[in-house]
Amino acid sequence: MPSATGPAPGKLPFVVWVLAAGTFLMGTTEFVIAGLLPEMAADLNVSVSHAGLLITAFAVGMIVGGPTMAMATLRLPQRHTLIGALAVFALGHAVAALSTSFTIVLTARVVTALATGAFWAVGFVIATTAAGPARSTRAVGVMMGGLTLANVVGVPIGSFVGHYTGWRGPFWALAVLAALAAAFVGRFIPRTEQRADVSVRAEVRALKQGRLWLALAAAVLIMGGVLATYTYITPLLTDRAGIPAGAVPLVLIAFGIGALGGTAIGGRLGDRRPMVTTITAATATSLILLALVPASNSPVAAVVLVFGMALAGFTVNPVVTSLAVRFAGDAPTLTSAMTTSGYNTGIAAGSLVAGQALDSSLGLTGPALVGAIFAALTLLPLIALALRGTTGPSRTVAHHTADTHESQTVGTPATTAH
C-alpha cells in the first residue's frame, strides 16, 4: 500500500482516495433526497415543499455538527473519529428506513448530518496534510470528487432504485455501505496517537482572519445558488420541461458529470490561478441559472443547463476549501469544519428560500431564480478576496503517526492571487 505520508512525486497518497470513498457515501445521502422527494412526501403524508425540509435539516445538522464535532473530537485519534462517524451514519439510516414518522426521519437526518460533519472536518485535514502544500487543492478536489461522483453514480442509482423499491431501499443500502466503509477506513487509515499537542484556543484564534471569512462567504453563496435549484429540480423537469419521471435519474447523472468535471477543473487550476478560476465560474453559474428560468420549458435546454450549472458551480468548491484551510495556518481542523458548515449554510438557506419561491407566484421557476441571485452574490466575497490577495505568512501543522513517530510539516504554498 502506498504510504500515506510519502507518496511518489506527482501522485496523491492513497489515504486521499480512501477518504474520497467515504465522501461518496456522504454525498449520496445528502443529495439523493432530491430524486426521491415526491415518493417520500407521499409515503410520509407531507407536501413536496415540506419534504424538502429533509434536505434543509441535513444541511442544518452539518452547519452545527461540523464545528461542534471537530472540537469535541479534536484530541482524539483521527482514525477513531472517522470510524465512529461512519458507524453513527449507518445507524441513522437504519432508523430512518424503519420509521413511518416524518419527525423521526427528520431527526435521523440531523443525526447523520452530525456524523457527516465530523467525517468531513477531519477528512479534509488528513487529505491536505498527507498531500503536502504543492498538491493541497488537488487533494481537496479528489476528496470532494467523491462527493460529486455521488451525483454521477450514487444519486441516480438511489433515485432509480427508489422508484421501484420505495425510498427505504436506498436508505438501507446506505446503512450497509457505511458499515462496510467503517471497516475499510479502519484497515487503511494509519493509526495515530492521541492528539495532545493540538490547541482549541489556536483553532479558534485562526478564525480571526478576514480572508478566511471571505472564502467561507463564497462557499455559502455558491452552494446556496446551485442547491436552491437542485433541491426542487425534479418537479421542474417533470412538470415544466415535460421529462418523464423515469428519465429524471438520467438528468441527475448529467448534473453529476458536470459536478465531477467542475471539481476536477477547480482542483487542477485552483493552485495556480485561484481567483480567475472562481470568479469566472461564479459568473457562469449565475448566468446559467438565470437562463434556466425561461429555457426550462424545453427538455433539451433544461438538461444542458442543469449540466452547466453543476460544471460551473462545483468548480468554485475545491478552490475556496483549499484557501480556507491554507489561511488557517497551524489550526486547520475547525476551519475545515467551518468550510463544510459554510457549504451547508448555503444549502439550508438556498433550499429554504427556494421552497418558498416554489410555493409563490414564481412557481416552478422560482428556485432557479433564487439560485441565480445567490450565485451572483458569490462574486462579492471573491472580488474582495482577489483584491486582498491569497498569499501571506502561515505557520505549520505537525501530525504524528504511531507507526512512524515522524512529523509531517505542511506549509502554505506560494500561490499568487490572479
CATH number, domain containing residue 143? 1.20.1250.20
Residue 391 pLDDT exceeds 70: no
Q: Does residue 417 lie in a domain region?
A: no
Helical residues (DSSP H) of 193-247, grouped into ranges: 200-205, 210-231, 233-235
Q: Tell me whether residue 28 is in a domain.
A: yes
pLDDT of residue 37: 81
How high is the pLDDT of residue 416? Answer: 36
Does residue 400 form part of some domain? no
Q: Distance between CA 380 and CA 283 in Å, rounded?
A: 11
Residues 239-262: what's their mean pLDDT? 86
- Asked if residue 403 is part of any domain, the answer here is no
Confidence category of residue 363, pLDDT binned at 50, 70, 90: confident
**What is the span of the domain harbouring residue 328?**
14-190+202-390
Q: Strand ranges (DSSP E) for 97-241?
A: none
Contact of 410 with 397, CB cutoff 8 Å: yes
Q: What is the DSSP letter of 393?
A: -
β-strand partners of 263: none
**Would you say residue 307 has pLDDT above 50?**
yes
Q: What percent of the chain has pLDDT over 90?
A: 23
Residue 105 counted as domain residue? yes
Identity of residue 31: F
Interval 96-101 mean pLDDT: 90
Q: Is residue 59 very low, low, confident or very high in pLDDT (cuts 50, 70, 90)?
A: confident
- For helices 136-149 and 299-327, what crossing angle results, to 10°? 140
The per-residue pLDDT for range 129-168, each reduced to its tens digit, is 777 766 767 777 787 778 777 767 887 788 888 878 888 9
Strands 397-400 and 407-410: antiparallel
Contact (CB, 8 A) for 174 and 345: no
- The DSSP secondary structure of 255-299, one letter per residue, reads HHHHHHHHHHHHHHHTTT-HHHHHHHHHHHHHHHHHHHHHHTTSH
Sequence-distant (6+) residues with CB within 8 A of 10 are: none
pLDDT, one tens digit per residue, over 160-176 is 888 788 889 999 999 99
Q: How far apart are the first and last CA of the chain?
A: 38
In a domain, 342, yes or no: yes
* Number of domains the chain contains: 1
Q: Report the range of poorest mean pLDDT among 158-172, 178-192, 234-248.
A: 178-192
